[in-house]
Structure 1
Amino acid sequence: MMNLKELSRAVEQIAEEKGLKPEVVLETVEHSIAAAYKKEYGRRGEIIRAKLDPETGEVKFWQVKLVVDPAEVRIEEEEEGAPTQKEKELPQDKDHAKEARAGAEPQEGEEEKKLPRFHPERHIFLEEARKIKPDAQVGDELTFPLEPKEDFGRIAAQAAKQVILQKLRESERQSILEEWRGKEGQIVSGVVQRFERGHVYVDLGRTVGVMFANESVPGEHYRTGERLRFLVLAV
């Protein structure tokens, strides 16, 4: 097993300092670790999920496949982007090619091309799925355990940390927005932090507010570090 106990502790500490929900932090960690694992060991098109035990720091990985009906997907044997046999048979002259395409009647099977493409790394046919899970239905997700990698490595762990910190910042911004969204029109307490071009910046705790020059009371003077009460106009 790969031990991420130290990383887990660090993230929990950051979450506590930022006032984030523990489940949000844990989900962020798992998404980040799964992304790092896929980058190191995964294949194109794979869907990887990770489950982290916050108590032990151990993590497990699964590959996820969506159950599909063969009639509702298209299977392409040729490489994606390569010309099909039908395209190869069209006239090579550009003008003639345009005329040929414009005048051609829709052929049987063209509707099939609009179906989603089957990808063996992320899809599994219903018949095969029921060999694994007898009550499987189209749209279900099947998970397949992946072998833990002892050499997950410092690079992958560092990549996970970077993604985690980025997502924590995003979560913190969202948390602050939710906290202040319902405070428009209310009176709140804040500390004058600094002045820039006549605007007053106010420390509101987890965030900073700004009182524009045209919103201040004429003739009033403010001092850095002074605690005042402010009306929240907009979030």
Structure 2
Amino acid sequence: MSSEILTVLEYMEKEKGIERADMISAIVNAIKTAAQKGVNSGQELKIDIDPKNGQLHAWAMLRVVDSVSDPKTEIHIEKASAIQPGIQLGEELEKEIDPAYLGRIAAQTARQAIMQKLRQFEKDRIYDDFKDMVGNIVTGTVRRRERNDIYVDLGKAEALLMGREQVPGEEYQPGDRIRCLLAAIESTPRGPELMLTRASPRFVRRLFELEVTEIADGTVQVEAFAREPGYRTKMAVISNDPKVDPVGACVGARGARVKSIVRELNGEKIDIINYFADPEEMVREALKPAVPREVKIDERGRRIILRVANEDLAIAIGRKGQNARLTSRLIGWKIDIEEFAEKTVDVQDEATKKLASSLDVDYELATRLVTAGFVSLEIFEGVEADDLEESGFTADEAATILAKVAAVSGNA
């Protein structure tokens, strides 16, 4: 058994990084516990393993008495003196026993202790290896699918991509390569669980940080972000350097940078816009190419009412309201989009109202004047009563109209 133990100790130390002393302690405690539950039940044992050669030694701990009532815990003074001369009553004797006496259970227990220690080490190592990678993108291989969840092999450990963290429409088979964001390390009864995501906005944001050097070095900042995984992402950016166009930096030459990210996201649309602190400017920018005809801001309720032309309505709202929802999340305001109704102006009605007000006559008389072509005061210049009568007005009406025109002209 000693050669087996030594081999295991050396393997654990070199390949797994487990200290030899830690493994010895685990094996000793496991053997002692198992032996005391088996053939050595009720007996106190002392077990030692030589770290150099793996040799196992065992002793039974016996109290020296002059009358033995329990041979598993006591030894007569005469037998004790033969083993250790000069020992006194009441003292404790360490009587070495053959390790084989511990039985097959002890050997199995040693193996179990090694496996348990290895599993515990693997758990601790997973946390230590990945704790600084939370929030970063990791690459792995799909190992298996269980219901809607995908288990991903990251090389040093297995991670979990739950169904709700997957992008709708994406399908992965065992053996496929996959990139995800390491979202968190959760404590479970089985040990630390590495939790992945592809649906989180943080995944896309991290892709831009890796792809766009201006974001990585802080020249360009992502001020606002909104995403519906698998469909569309909107992000608003600003530059700390007036010489750097933030949108252009993210898009890249001929769209190279953003195309790389779109490929990773399997065709998900990405809108990159300039950031504005003013919500009205921001909403106009976010809804392009739709152009709001009217914008009303409710500061208290953090609500924006937009009215857009009928031809822009579908663009502004988007498929199933997607564009409006993303714009609302991007800005942080509630957005209502309505159709803009063009106001038609009745020229005759406007002229009639204006003439009735200017001459202080009733609407009906003013309507007859406008219909006859007298749409403004200027037209009455040189007009006489006969001209009005020819247009269908009575002599009294003509006289009244001309008198009012004269009065208004005189006041002017």
| TM-score where L is the length of structure 2 | 0.32
Whole-Å Cα distance in 2 between the matches of residues 150 and 195 of structure 1? 47
Whole-Å Cα distance in 2 between the matches of residues 214 and 197 of structure 1? 12
Whole-Å Cα distance in 1 between the matches of residues 177 and 52 of structure 2? 42
Alignment of 1:201-212 (within 5 A): 201-212=151-162
Out of 28, 31, 52, the position equivalent to 1:30 is 28
Whether the 8 Å CA contact 2:48–2:56 is kept in 1: the answer is yes
Whether the 8 Å CA contact 2:126–2:156 is kept in 1: the answer is yes
Shift of residue 147 of structure 1? 0.8
Structure-2 change in CA distance of 1:27 and 1:182 (3 Å): farther
Structure-2 change in CA distance of 1:176 and 1:22 (3 Å): farther
Out of 97, 100, 107, the position equivalent to 1:151 is 100
Whether the 8 Å CA contact 1:32–1:164 is kept in 2: the answer is no
Whether the 8 Å CA contact 1:199–1:213 is kept in 2: the answer is yes
Out of 225, 230, 235, the position equivalent to 2:175 is 225
The 3-state SS of whatever aligns with 1:57 is: coil
Out of 42, 55, 75, the position equivalent to 2:52 is 55
Structure 2 unaligned regions, length at least 5: 62-72, 75-86, 186-412
Alignment of 1:131-170 (within 5 A): 145-149=94-98, 151-152=100-101, 153-170=103-120
Whether the 8 Å CA contact 1:61–1:145 is kept in 2: the answer is no
Whole-Å Cα distance in 2 between the matches of residues 61 and 160 of structure 1? 14
Structure-2 change in CA distance of 1:60 and 1:45 (3 Å): closer
Q: Which position in structure 2 is the counterpart of 1:6?
A: 4
Whether the 8 Å CA contact 1:34–1:61 is kept in 2: the answer is no
Q: Which position in structure 2 is the counterpart of 1:181?
A: 131
Shift of residue 8 of structure 1? 3.3
The 3-state SS of whatever aligns with 2:133 is: coil
Structure 1 unaligned regions, length at least 5: 65-119, 122-131, 133-142
Structure-2 change in CA distance of 1:20 and 1:226 (3 Å): farther
Alignment of 1:55-94 (within 5 A): 55-61=52-58
Structure-2 change in CA distance of 1:181 and 1:62 (3 Å): farther
1:80-135 CA-partner distances (Å, limit 9, x unpaired): xxxxxxxxxxxxxxxxxxxxxxxxxxxxxxxxxxxxxxxx99xxxxxxxxxx9xxx
The 3-state SS of whatever aligns with 2:145 is: strand
Shift of residue 188 of structure 1? 1.8
Whether the 8 Å CA contact 2:59–2:97 is kept in 1: the answer is no
Whether the 8 Å CA contact 2:139–2:154 is kept in 1: the answer is yes
Structure-2 change in CA distance of 1:231 and 1:41 (3 Å): same
Whole-Å Cα distance in 2 between the matches of residues 233 and 197 of structure 1? 21
The 3-state SS of whatever aligns with 1:232 is: strand
User: Which amino acid in the other structure matches residue 217 of structure 1?
Assistant: V
User: Which amino acid in the other structure matches residue 208 of structure 1?
Assistant: E
Structure-2 change in CA distance of 1:16 and 1:45 (3 Å): same
Whole-Å Cα distance in 1 between the matches of residues 132 and 59 of structure 2? 40
Whether the 8 Å CA contact 1:50–1:62 is kept in 2: the answer is yes
Identity %: 35
| Greater radius of gyration (CA) | 2
User: Which amino acid in the other structure matches residue 169 of structure 1?
Assistant: R
Matched, 1:195 2:145: yes
Whole-Å Cα distance in 2 between the matches of residues 187 and 221 of structure 1? 19
Shift of residue 57 of structure 1? 2.2
The 3-state SS of whatever aligns with 2:4 is: helix
Alignment of 1:107-126 (within 5 A): none
The 3-state SS of whatever aligns with 1:234 is: strand
Whole-Å Cα distance in 1 between the matches of residues 140 and 123 of structure 2? 19
Deviation larger for 168-177 or 207-216: 168-177
User: Which amino acid in the other structure matches residue 55 of structure 1?
Assistant: K
Whole-Å Cα distance in 2 between the matches of residues 166 and 185 of structure 1? 30
Higher relative contact order (CA 8 A, sep 6+): 1
1:155-190 CA-partner distances (Å, limit 9, x unpaired): 432233234333432333233233333432222221
Whether the 8 Å CA contact 2:58–2:99 is kept in 1: the answer is no
| TM-score where L is the length of structure 1 | 0.52
Q: Which position in structure 1 is the counterpart of 2:236?
A: none
Shift of residue 60 of structure 1? 3.1
